[in-house]
Amino acid sequence: MTNSPKGVTVAPPQILQGEPIIRIEAEGLEQRQATGAAHVTMRVFDDSAPPGLANHTDAIREFMTAMPGFRSYWSVATDNAGVSIISGDDKASVDAIGERMREFINTTYPDREPRSVAQLIEGSALFRTEAAKAAAV
């Protein structure tokens, strides 16, 4: 049984697994979610994140949280690639944050070839949920 219309073949989903390198969220994110859906962009890179990127989390947090419309940023390392996920109030803010991150990488790692985006997925986030925090024992 399938949910696809007759005659339409849908490729199986691509599963990306990895370890989070960086996770940054704007202050008051839960309250801002009530203002409307976020725009989210996921970039899949053919190459892994630059070595030591997590060591720059404070600098990245500083410029991202100062940018208008910023909601959250994730960087994930897979076995042979990398993924970044940016959410913001709208497409323009997400694009600006992505461009600023690209500038940061190019400046911080001048000898590294810029990574190309192998796949770009973007759209509106309809909801966000997190696992409940376990009670302290």
Average pLDDT over the chain, rounded to an integer: 83
- Statement: residue 126 has pLDDT above 70: no
Indicate whether 118 belongs to any domain. Answer: yes
Tell me the residue range of the domain where 39 lies: 18-123
Give the DSSP H or E segment for 103: helix 91-108
- Is residue 129 assigned to a domain? no
Residue 137, CA atoms < 13 Å, CB-side half-sphere: 1
Q: What is the pLDDT of residue 99?
A: 94
13 is a domain residue: no
Q: Is residue 58 part of a domain?
A: yes
3-state percent breakdown (helix, strand, coil) of the chain, nearest 5: 25, 30, 45
Does 40 fall in a domain? Answer: yes
pLDDT in tens, 7-30: 777 777 777 778 888 888 888 766
Q: How many folded domains does the chain comprise?
A: 1
43-84 tens-digit pLDDT: 998 888 888 999 999 999 999 999 999 999 999 988 788 899
Provide the CATH number for the domain around residue 36.
3.30.70
Q: Residue holding tokens 């960087």?
A: 75
8, part of any domain: no
133 pLDDT tier (thresholds 50, 70, 90)? low
Confidence at residue 1, expressed as pLDDT on a 0 to 100 scale: 44
91 in any annotated domain: yes
